[in-house]
Amino acid sequence: MSYQSRLPKSPLAALAVVALAAGTTTALSGAVPAAAFPGIHHPHAHPTITSQPWGDFEGQTVDLYTLTSGAGMKVTITNFGATVQSLWVPDRRGRSVDVALGFPTLSDYVNDFLQQHTGVAWPLSGGSGDTYFGATIGRYANRIADHSFTMVCSNCSNNGVTYTLPANNGTNTLHGGDLGWNTKVWSASTSQGPGYVALALSLTSPDGDEGFPASVTATVTYTVTTDNELRIRYDITNNEPVGGKATVVNPTNHLYFNLAGESSGPVFDQLLAINADRYSPIDTNFIPTAPYQLSVAGTPFDFRHPKPIGRDITNVSSPDGTSGPFPQLVIAHGYDHNWVLNGSGYRLAAVAQDRGTGITLWTYTDQPGVQFYSGNFLVGDLTGTGGHTYRQTSGFTLETQHFPDSPHHIGEPGWPSVVLNGGQTLSSMTTYRFTTGGTITHFGF
Ligand code: GLA
């Protein structure tokens, strides 16, 4: 019924976790053998990690960290919101391309991420709203209907207690509330070892934070490897004693990708495949609705084989022969849904590719779902890191997570639990790995 201390189970994943666990310590000399990263393409590469001051937020110093793989990948991450600001990878000709949507300055992030709290729309009302570009989302990613839930737990002190949360998305609670983890300054520590550099970012979210029960401590560890991977590990501990208050947690990262470059325009032609036979249909409040899981077969939601993201998004003729706008795409103005990933444990969740740059993104996760969002709320009012504006489909997200609105389905079959009991730790990992190569036409998940 509740989270166990979950670690990936496959041999590859187990090795990865050993390496990452070591990566969060400081004394690393010789502690992590290179063999802990199977498939290293660049065994002689030298990853680096540096930092620079990036400004202040509410009297706290904010830094920008730069992690390089030594094999052409460079990631900048700020401890404001534990946010990935840019993600540079080589294309097939060796040119460096920033494949993550982001902002050039800290004040852009503060204006964008804080607007729900301050009530000051940025840059104008009726604009894109809070984008969550590259941010860490917590304590609960995605939507909780009616901005409340009733805890259902055993060996806990708050079974049956109803909690009221902020309504920051119509009547829903979205991405942890008005002041989610993307609005906090995280404390940082860096480490490195053979084949990797790591940045561990931590915060404590107190009991009652944004209405959620129980104090939790979260650590997000970003690791860049010589294999041009960005690994994101979450360790979240419920600080209550065993038998104390349980809570719900669902962390994710909100990177928007554009594999032709963040300034390059629509991602319609980029290929995407998702390892999922089913998706979660939503009602007009974007909340999953019965029967909760539908087959993707014969619908625009079928990404079981690589296809251009835009192929069916505007097409009124569905692959099953019916015609007319597909209702689920009408509700969301595109894709903004949970795909129910096949299998369990740490596994390949999705592959995406731009055929021009050749940049290919491999997403691995131990999570049960992925929210594929086609940037539908971007309306052309935001200027990104490269000095261009972002519009609908300028980027797409692959937010690995539990199913939306899970707190209203605790204990129900088909709904993996998001309950974290007192004294328990959730450990979870998602990897974004970049390669270049031939066109993906098919692959086995
Ligand atoms: C998530 C949601 C979207 C939207 C974006 C941020 O992806 O599912 O509906 O709120 O965050 O704009």
| Residues 94-109 pLDDT 10s | 999 999 999 999 999 9
DSSP secondary structure of 236-248? EEE-SPTTS--EE
Regarding the beta carbon of 256 and ligand 1, being less than 6 Å apart is answered no
Range of the domain at 319: 11-40+47-435
| Residue 25: other Cβ atoms inside 10 A | 14
pLDDT score at 343: 96
List the one residue out of 250, 224, 231 whose CA is nearest residue 364: 231
- pLDDT tens, residue by residue, 331-379: 999 999 999 999 999 999 999 999 999 999 999 999 999 999 999 999 9
- Residue 399 is among the residues annotated as catalytic for this protein: yes
* 181 in any annotated domain: yes
Mean pLDDT to the nearest integer, 253-276: 98
Does 43 score more than 90 pLDDT? Answer: no
Q: Residue 397: CB within 6 Å of ligand 1?
A: yes
Q: Is residue 248 part of a domain?
A: yes
Q: Which atom of ligand 1 is nearest to 286's Cα?
A: 9
3-state secondary structure of 211: helix
- Tell me if 3 is assigned to some domain: no
Tokens of 200: 């561990």
CB atoms near residue 300 (< 10 Å)? 21
Q: Is the pLDDT of residue 89 over 80?
A: yes
The label of the residue with tokens 């983890």 reads 181
Q: How far is the CA of 131 from the centre of ligand 1 (A)?
A: 7
Q: Which atom of ligand 1 is nearest to the CA of 142?
A: 8
**Catalytic residue (one of 254, 337, 402, 409):** 254
What is the C-alpha end-to-end distance of the chain, expressed in Å?
28
Q: Which helix (H) or strand (E) holds 331?
A: helix 327-332
Q: What is the pLDDT of residue 445?
A: 60
CA-to-CA distance for 13 and 261, rounded, in angstroms?
A: 29
Catalytic residue among 262, 337, 399, 409: 399
DSSP-derived secondary structure letter, 403: P
Atom of ligand 1 nearest to the CA of 373: 7
CA–CA gap between residue 123 and residue 361 (Å, rounded): 31
Q: pLDDT per residue over 145-183, tens digit each?
A: 999 999 999 999 999 999 999 999 999 999 999 999 999
Residue 11 pLDDT > 50: no
- 104 with 133: CB under 8 angstroms? no
Tokens describing residue 161:
């207690």
Q: How many domains does the chain have?
A: 1
Instruction: Kindly state whether residue 126 falls inside one of the protein's structural domains.
Output: yes
Ligand 1 centre and the CA of 135: distance in Å? Answer: 12
pLDDT band at 34 (very low <50, low <70, confident <90, very high): very low
CATH code for the domain in which residue 350 is found: 2.70.98.10
Q: Measure the CA–CA gap between 142 and 113, rounded to whole angstroms.
A: 15
Average pLDDT, the chain: 90
Q: What pTM was estimated for this model as a whole?
A: 0.91
- Catalytic annotation on 254? yes
83 lines ligand 1 (CB under 6 A): no
- Is 219 a member of any domain? yes
Ligand 1 close to Cβ of residue 131 (< 6 A) = yes
